[in-house]
Amino acid sequence: MMRIAVGGFQHETNTFAPTKADYAAFEQADSWPSLQRGEGLLSAFKGMNVPVAGFIDAASSGNTLLPLVWCSATPSAHVTEDAFERVMAMMLEELRNAGSIDAVYLDLHGAMVTEHFDDGEGEILARVRALIGPDIPLVASLDLHANVTERMVAQADALIAYRTYPHVDMAETGARAAAHLTHLVKSGTCQAKAMRRLDYLIPLTAQCTLIEPAAHLYGFVAEAEGRDTGNGRVSSVSFTTGFPPVDIPECGPVVIAYGDTEAAAVEAAERIAAAGREAEPDFREKLWSARDAVAHAIKHSSPGKGPIVLADTQDNPGAGGNGDTIGILAELIAQDAQNACLAVLFDPESAARAAEAGEGTTVSLSLGAKTGGAPGERPLEGAFEVMRVTNGEFLASGPFYGGARMSLGTTVRLRRGGVQVVVASRKGQCADKEMIRHTGLDPQGLAILAVKSSVHFRADFGPMSSEVLVVESPGPNTADLAKLSFTRLRKGLRVTPMGEGFGE
């Protein structure tokens, strides 16, 4: 029987985003549960597609799990110093009070930047390592979009990352981390490590593992794990494609491999890195303007074929956007689109006014564009019919959020002409049909569906869509990375696939 300390601290930081993550952002429930401390942590995630849930399920039998702290906040700009230090103080206090332990598991993201640290996860791991000493195994699961640093690799005995985007394997990744941790404890041996970087940034929407070239690259990753190289067995391989809107020197894709010998780990890391370098030209992508995307969707949508989905990637709340820019919505209305919907627009003020007016009424609103996510953009003024009012509470059913009890606050569905919009009081990436369906609208019957998401929507909406267009509409999650004002990337890193090196 092992005594395993379990915790998590998740944030994906977009250093170009307008709003920081304060302590309150980690306290509240949103797409995931609120901050958990102590025994409640072990039951709060049951049935959810999150790494800590998969780890707990896999490690519970025959072991004693010692809960620390788990929290997450919607992606945004930097985590405030106050939030980081308060969460870490709680985590380390629980760890000190846990008594004798055999191992530590942490559910991390890998792309956290705080007001005082470029490398949030490196700092988390270093503080935990300083407390537990060099001999107790420390294993962390990471998001596929992690910007893995040398400090993270040095401080952890293993970093185990997702292999799917949309992230349908989060719980599975937690289970893989549990298996690796168990092996480390029972064998009593350390695994050799190898880390290799790629020298270009990959646009977020091009990282989707349902399409090429990521689809075949992750096939190579899966094949490499467990392989006997002749120089020893490869126990784990991860390829983190990076979270690109982060202005730090260690931003970008990384391959991490662990093996029985250094030679085995190096061989696996080199093989995947070489495939990633070869695939660089294929990571370039087409971006549509809002005007052209809407015109195309109006012309080519057809009854019974499923909606044409417009990905409002630059205002994706899952990548630092606030979910309140109105570029695509304004185009849908201006071009008189029919049977169209945008979801989910973040506007607590408008949601409250519409809810107060009540279903069946018509209310004049200044909709969206209130947080500064698109400088110079003004709210969409006009009269909207209130179709439905809800409390924003529902159970997600799709592959990404599935099992999560979501909480969007007061939520309304509005209509203007042939265009509807789901407006919520809390930010949330539109990656589950229930985010629309709970307002009484079936998204499958739409001709055009615009979603505040980059890729995660593909898990639930992709199978029903007739076409997907990635739209470059205003928002802080800049899709064309060449347009970002980077100042701190390492010299030579190509900001776009096949582009010029930074600082050269």
Q: What is the pLDDT of residue 259?
A: 96
Claim to verify: residue 423 and residue 382 sit in the same structural domain = yes
Claim to verify: residue 49 and residue 163 sit in the same structural domain = yes
Report the chain's terminal Cα–Cα distance, integer Å. Answer: 55
How many domains, the chain? 3
Among candidate residues 153, 168, 189, the one where a domain is terminated: 189
Claim to verify: residue 443 and residue 432 sit in the same structural domain = yes
pLDDT digits (tens, 9 = 90+) for 296-336: 999 999 988 999 999 999 999 988 889 999 999 999 999 99
Claim to verify: residue 305 and residue 281 sit in the same structural domain = no
Confidence category of residue 403, pLDDT binned at 50, 70, 90? confident
Per-residue pLDDT at 29 exceeds 90: no
Q: Give the side-chain half-sphere CA count within 13 A for 79.
A: 31
Average pLDDT rounded to a whole number, residues 235-242: 97
Q: What is the pLDDT of residue 28?
A: 87
Claim to verify: residue 474 and residue 487 sit in the same structural domain = no
Q: Are 245 and 14 in contact (CB under 8 A)?
A: yes
Question: CA-to-CA distance for 456 and 429, rounded, in angstroms?
Answer: 8
145: Cβ–Cβ under 8 A, 6 or more apart, which residues?
A: 12, 109, 110, 111, 165, 204, 207, 240, 241, 242, 243
Residue range of the domain that includes 236: 191-285+480-504
pLDDT digits (tens, 9 = 90+) for 165-198: 999 999 999 999 999 999 999 988 889 999 999 9
Confidence category of residue 373, pLDDT binned at 50, 70, 90? confident
Question: CA-to-CA distance for 94 and 99, rounded, in angstroms?
Answer: 9
- DSSP class of 191: P
Average pLDDT rounded to a whole number, residues 408-415: 97
What CATH number is associated with residue 66? 3.40.50
Claim to verify: residue 334 and residue 268 sit in the same structural domain = no
Q: Are 107 and 140 in contact (CB under 8 A)?
A: yes
Cα dihedral sign for 364, 368, 374, 375? Answer: positive
Claim to verify: residue 431 and residue 497 sit in the same structural domain = no
Claim to verify: residue 500 and residue 475 sit in the same structural domain = no
Average pLDDT rounded to a whole number, residues 111-117: 98
60: Cβ–Cβ under 8 A, 6 or more apart, which residues?
A: none
Q: What is the pLDDT of residue 167?
A: 96
Classify residue 259 as left (phi > 0), alpha (psi -120 to 50) or beta: beta
- DSSP class of 114: B
Kindly report the pTM of this predicted structure: 0.89
Between vectors from CA 350 to CA 344 and to CA 352, what angle results, nearest 5°? Answer: 105
Q: Are 19 and 252 in contact (CB under 8 A)?
A: no
Among candidate residues 144, 171, 189, the one where a domain is terminated: 189
Q: Specify the residue for token string 């942490």.
A: 106
Claim to verify: residue 358 and residue 434 sit in the same structural domain = yes
Among candidate residues 150, 165, 189, the one where a domain is terminated: 189
90: Cβ–Cβ under 8 A, 6 or more apart, which residues?
A: 37, 68, 69
Please tell me whether residue 394 adopts helix, strand or coil conformation. Answer: strand
Claim to verify: residue 351 and residue 382 sit in the same structural domain = yes
Claim to verify: residue 431 and residue 312 sit in the same structural domain = yes
Claim to verify: residue 139 and residue 182 sit in the same structural domain = yes
